[in-house]
């Protein structure tokens, strides 16, 4: 597994070198600020932007309106509808090995109250303040994610939660999930000591691979980052939640 991880990391660096962050001006000739920001968001969601660091300052109000003004909620509801319809087409064996994997932050739980206070992604990420927010266990669920989660449980899927949070945050994460209305997941997987320093794509691919080795069939996967969904040991079908506020490679 260590050799496979190294090979995958090298391939990732060759294809998506960390230094290759493409920067574009926030004022495109002939475009309004709104037009530019809408196009920027599309590029982000389709991964055309590649690795990026912060939301363009000119797009702060645009992102704020998107995530709080109703359009994000509508987009998530449509994505959840597609996921449920896909899930209904699958034959569930009933042996507990038909799995669905969820990310947590900006997938099951919304940290919008944190990002409201930190420029809606226009400020560089601050791990200390974000960890303090995580410890508060105050993040609510998205309506669409809670609906999707419960529908999948009713259909008989075994739910795994795979997050980039650290093992030391297990207690506050479990408390927050229960506070938000989630229950009866099979396993909450967090970064252990051996996972520190790994790119999210590598770490999550390895954890999915371990589930497959245990005999689980990963039918579906839901996350807000491409690194939640791609790599190896991927789900039969993946569903991406919109997130224009930050990027995790």
Q: Does the residue 119 lie in any domain?
A: yes
- Please give the mean pLDDT across all residues of the chain: 91
Q: Does the residue 247 lie in any domain?
A: no
The answer to whether residue 11 scores a pLDDT higher than 50 is no
Please tell me the distance from the alpha carbon of residue 195 to that of residue 99, in angstroms, as a whole number: 22
Q: Does the residue 7 lie in any domain?
A: no
Q: Does the residue 164 lie in any domain?
A: yes
Say what the alpha-carbon torsion angle 243, 166, 101, 185 is, to the nearest 10 degrees: -120
CATH code, domain with 119: 3.40.50.1000
The per-residue pLDDT for 214 is: 98
Which 8-state DSSP code applies to residue 57? G
Q: How confident is the model at residue 34 (pLDDT cuts 50, 70, 90)?
A: confident
Q: Does the residue 199 lie in any domain?
A: yes
Q: How confident is the model at residue 14 (pLDDT cuts 50, 70, 90)?
A: very low
Count of domains for the chain = 1
Residues of 216-244 as b/e, b for ≥16 C-beta within 10 angstroms?
A: bbbbbbbbbbbbbbbbebbbebbbbbbbb
Which 8-state DSSP code applies to residue 109? B
Provide the 10 A C-beta neighbour count for residue 135: 15
Q: Does the residue 178 lie in any domain?
A: yes
The per-residue pLDDT for 32 is: 78
Q: Does the residue 44 lie in any domain?
A: no
Report the percentage of the chain scoring pLDDT > 90.
86
Residue-wise pLDDT for 90-121, tens only, equals 999 999 999 999 999 999 999 999 999 999 99
Q: Does the residue 29 lie in any domain?
A: no
Interhelix angle 60-68/33-45, nearest 10 degrees: 60
The per-residue pLDDT for 33 is: 80
Residue-wise pLDDT for 138-185, tens only, equals 999 999 999 999 999 999 999 999 999 999 999 999 999 999 999 999
The answer to whether residue 218 scores a pLDDT higher than 60 is yes
The per-residue pLDDT for 175 is: 98
What percent of the residues of the chain are helix, what percent strand, and what percent coil, each to the nearest 5?
A: 50, 15, 40
The per-residue pLDDT for 31 is: 62
Domain ranges, residue 202: 73-240
Q: What is the pTM of this model?
A: 0.88
């Amino acid at each position: 597994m260590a050799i496979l991880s190294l090979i995958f990391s090298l391939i990732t660096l060759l294809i998506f070198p960390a230094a290759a962050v493409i920067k574009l001006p926030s004022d495109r000739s002939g475009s309004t600020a709104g037009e530019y920001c809408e196009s920027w968001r599309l590029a982000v969601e389709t991964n055309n932007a590649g690795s990026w660091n912060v939301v363009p300052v000119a797009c702060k109000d645009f992102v704020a309106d998107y995530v709080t003004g109703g359009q994000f909620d509508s987009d998530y509801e449509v994505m959840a509808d597609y996921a449920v319809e896909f899930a209904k087409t699958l034959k569930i064996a009933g042996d507990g090995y038909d799995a669905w994997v969820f990310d947590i932050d900006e997938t099951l739980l919304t940290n919008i109250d944190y990002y409201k206070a930190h420029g809606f992604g226009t400020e560089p990420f601050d791990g200390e303040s974000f960890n303090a927010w995580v410890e508060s266990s105050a993040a609510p669920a998205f309506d669409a994610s809670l609906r999707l989660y419960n529908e999948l449980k009713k259909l008989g899927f075994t739910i795994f939660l795979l997050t980039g949070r650290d093992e030391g945050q297990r207690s506050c994460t479990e408390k927050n999930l229960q506070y938000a209305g989630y229950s009866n997941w099979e396993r909450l997987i967090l970064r252990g000591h051996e996972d520190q320093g790994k790119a999210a794509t590598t770490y999550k691919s390895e954890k999915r691979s371990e589930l497959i080795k245990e005999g689980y069939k990963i039918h579906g996967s839901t996350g807000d980052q491409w690194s939640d969904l791609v790599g190896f040991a991927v789900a039969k079908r993946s569903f991406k939640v919109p997130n224009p506020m930050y990027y995790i490679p």
